[in-house]
Chains A and B, each alone.
Chain A
Amino acid sequence: DADVTQTPRNRITKTGKRIMLECSQTKGHDRMYWYRQDPGLGLRLIYYSFDVKDINKGEISDGYSVSRQAQAKFSLSLESAIPNQTALYFCATSEHTGELFFGEGSRLTVL
């Protein structure tokens, strides 16, 4: 089983719908992140959390919200999805030193 698990892996939805992407991890890391990947733009940070009581905006947080339900769970919500939120979304974790560990990605298509 993957250490960082994202659900759903793929989702097609319509403009205006509320969408939640979920992330859970078994690595025991305090730090969790949500990134968005678009072709030609690399990965951009949406939100990050250093512990359950700590939530921080990243560079592209508009239109998104997050919830850190537990150390192991970090969900990303799109309250009212729009087509330019069509992208590949990654959850990641890290220790206070070292690299990011990524989930398998959630591909979201907003029609």
Chain B
Amino acid sequence: AQTVTQSQPEMSVQEAETVTLSCTYDTSESDYYLFWYKQPPSRQMILVIRQEAYKQQNATENRFSVNFQKAAKSFSLKISDSQLGDAAMYFCAYRGPSGGPGTYKYIFGTGTRLKVLA
């Protein structure tokens, strides 16, 4: 069964510094997607970044980038120049086949709470 593990329940970073959130996953599939979602205190789930497994190049969105290591099944999120508004819960998620044609399932990690210190 596919699993997603976020081993850091909480992280802290100084404003303007860089922080990396870890995520590992387990799957036997070769075709899948990986995502990082941000959940600020407003509780809205906001997509931060996505990575298609077939792409070797790491995804980047402004100050957010990933280190995707397919063989190691690792998908970490790097936040550069951290800002107070980055404080949130971050969820790693996997989307892969779920059996039937055209059907998929999403699996979420348990989240990492990021605190940004002024």
Contacts and interface: CB of A to CB of B under 8 A. Distances in A.
Contacts of B106: 33, 45, 94, 100
Judged by DSSP, the binding face of B is: strand
A50 interface: yes
Interface residues of A, number: 20
B91 A104 contact: no
Interface string B53-77: 0000000000000000000000000
Interface string A14-53: 0000000000000000000100000011111100001000
Q: Give the interface size bracket for B toward A.
A: 20 to 34
B47 A104 contact: no
Judged by DSSP, the binding face of A is: strand
A1 interface: no
Interface of A: 33, 40-45, 50, 88, 90, 92, 94, 96, 98-100, 102, 104-105, 107
6 contacts: A40-B111, A45-B106, A99-B95, A100-B93, A104-B42, A105-B43
